[in-house]
Chains A and B, each alone.
Chain A
């Protein structure tokens, strides 16, 4: 069974700052199966990144994904007000526990 560990649990940043979110898998799997989602309060998750580094349709280029093996990263280059949300990584049918990006 895959376990995905996201860190940090909460990230407190200001608009315009860079956000770096981590997702670590318990075993090595293909990076084809690593995706990232954004979820705002009261909304469904939205696909941001798939295949570890490919942006989904309509996702701004300030969002980028990287990594391979067991370590993956979601980077938001410059936080916009609408980016403050919870972010989940997913591999196979398992989701991480989420990282909350909050306004400092």
Chain B
């Protein structure tokens, strides 16, 4: 059974870079043709898709974040990572990683999800 776990700093200063890693266990990222996504949720608000990566390294990002986001993958360690630059208080949220069943163009569904990690942007 595939499980995902986010890790990274819980506090980031404004204008700095947020970096998170998602480690996948219970199965290889390279099997099943899945993509791998990051999704965030500000406190008390809804879900916002950030971006995704395939094990080939192919990526797609939310246009609203595209200029600041990058996602990379390390298949040898079965993990993928998120970098979000020039953060502000508006980037404070719980960040989730999730397996992404994808047609190659769009996400069909996300599951399972990691437990989430709260990242606070504050000086």
Chain B 82-102 interface 0/1 with A at a Cβ cutoff of 8 Å (1 = within):
000000000000001000010
Chain A residue contacts of B111, Cβ below 8 A: 46-47, 56
CA distance A45 to B48 in the complex (A): 12
Q: How far is the CA of A88 from the CA of B109 in the complex (A)?
A: 12
**Minimum C-beta distance from A54 to chain B (A):** 9
Residues A95 and B49 in contact, CB atoms below 8 Å apart = yes
B interface, size bucket: 10 to 19
Residues of B within 8 A of A32 (CB): 103, 108
Mostly, the B contact residues are: strand
Q: Which residue of A is nearest B110, CB measured?
A: A47
Contact of B113 among A46, A90, A94 (CB under 8 A): A46
Distance in angstroms from A60 CB to nearest chain B CB is 16
Residues of B close to A92: CB separation below 8 A:
106-107
A7–B9 CA distance with the chains assembled, in angstroms: 36
Tell me if A47 and B109 are in contact (CB < 8 A): yes
For B46, the chain A residues whose CB sits under 8 A away are: 88, 95-98
B120 to chain A, nearest CB (A): 16
Closest residue on chain A to residue B105 by CB atoms: A92
CB atoms of A44 and B96 under 8 A apart:
yes
Q: Given A45-B47, A98-B46, are A90 and B115 also a contact pair (CB < 8 Å)?
A: no
Chain A 50-68: CB-based contact to B (< 8 A → 1; otherwise 0) = 1100001000000000000
